[in-house]
Amino acid sequence: MMGVSRDGQALRLDSSLGMRCRSGLATTNGIALEFAATHPPHVLVFGQGSAKADVQKAGFLFGGQRVSQQKVSYLKKASSPEVLLQKLEDRGLVVSKCTKRIALDYLRGVGAYRLKGYWHHLVDASSQRFPSGSSFGQIIDRCEFDRELRAATAAAIDRLEVAIRTAIADALSLKHSPHWFLLPGIFKPTRDWGMGHLIRKIEEEVRRAEGKRFVEHYLAKYDEPYLPPSWAVAECVSFGLWSRTYSILRDVNDKKAISRRFAIDEPDVFKSWIHSLTVVRNLAAHHGQILRVKLGVAPANYKKAGIKFRDQKSFFATATVIQYLLRQTRLPNTWVEDLEAIFSKYPSVSSSELGFPATWRSEPGWS
């Protein structure tokens, strides 16, 4: 055990939280301690009452104030896949003879630390043992479920990324100029993102793309403006740039001209949705875990379409956004079919772990 204090109030916490930390909420003298069952382990969230304050992996935060934690040297040693597998068996995980070779392949090819994200919620907090009947095959299923879900999500957002950047480029080019991004009057910059950020990023990405034929053609033929038109720039810059640029458009009519292409009349909702897509796209592209993870973004409700999320940070919320927007493009996609195929292929993994209700196919935004 270790002690930390705030305003003279001593709190005792288990210093070996790590894998023993299970989801839950405790309160001491009005200070809420949320033990988040996340991976990697040892993540605690502290806040006043029931409100979250911040997330820390080193040290603690009480109401936004850092409370020092004595650090120690990391003395753990690496273990071979064989040793790691034996440790899992010693803790009650069933590994049959026919599964052992496959289990070792996964420990070598995926890694125990990554696989831990698919078993840590099963382990008993006090005994560190797996529930009776838990098998390595179940862990493999969870890992593959998550991998296939990431691939399907990336493919769906890929379709939307192209459609959204095309809608932005077309709407602003038709109203203002093919080089609208060079017109300071159409933007209302914020401290975090302004025209300087936008132009600098476009310059960097166009410079990287100078070997592409369409960039070479423009630079060889034209000397003004010094950057290609927005439909060419769209092929160079990231989805995140388009999301942030939409957010600083000054004229609400410019924003609506773009959002209405996707049957959304509220620019703030559309801004929230495309920001959510950029975050989840990056999560999927960088092999982040989706299963049983609370996403770091919360797409806004769109009450006009009857869309009101039970949990805005669930994957189901973002999946609904994807489905709604895909339908408005009227372009071919297999999003719903992909989800159904994944859920059917891995019956041991419940879609409720992603926030999907049993009636998800008939929920607003899907039908």
pLDDT digits (tens, 9 = 90+) for 336-354: 999 999 999 999 999 999 9
The model's pLDDT over 190-230, given as tens digits with 9 standing for 90+, comes to 998 999 999 999 999 999 999 999 999 999 999 999 999 99
Residue of 184 and 48 predicted with greater confidence: 184
Q: What percent of the chain has pLDDT over 70?
A: 81
| Domain residue ranges in the chain | 2-67, 84-134, 148-362
Give the position of tokens 């270790």.
Answer: 2
The model's pLDDT over 259-303, given as tens digits with 9 standing for 90+, comes to 999 999 999 999 999 999 999 999 999 999 999 999 999 999 999
Per DSSP, the three-state class of 94 is: strand
The answer to whether the CB of 83 falls within 8 A of the CB of 109 is no
The answer to whether the CB of 278 falls within 8 A of the CB of 288 is no
User: Residue 196 carries which side chain, given as an amino acid letter?
Assistant: G
Maximum CA extent, the chain: 71
pLDDT confidence band for 3 (50 / 70 / 90): very low
Residue 332 has a CB neighbour count (10 Å cut-off) of 7
Residue 64, pLDDT score: 53
Cα-Cα-Cα-Cα dihedral sign, residues 354, 355, 357, 362: negative
The model's pLDDT over 10-63, given as tens digits with 9 standing for 90+, comes to 444 443 334 334 444 444 433 333 334 444 443 333 333 434 434 434 444 445
Residue 288 has a CB neighbour count (10 Å cut-off) of 16
How many helices (H) and strands (E) the chain has is answered by 13, 8
Residue 367, pLDDT score: 85
**Bridge partners for 60 per DSSP:** 67
Mean pLDDT computed over 119-130:
95
- What is the chain's mean pLDDT, rounded? 86
> Is 77 exposed, middle or buried (CB count within 10 Å of its CB: 0-12, 13-18, 19+)?
exposed
**Overall pTM > 0.85:** no
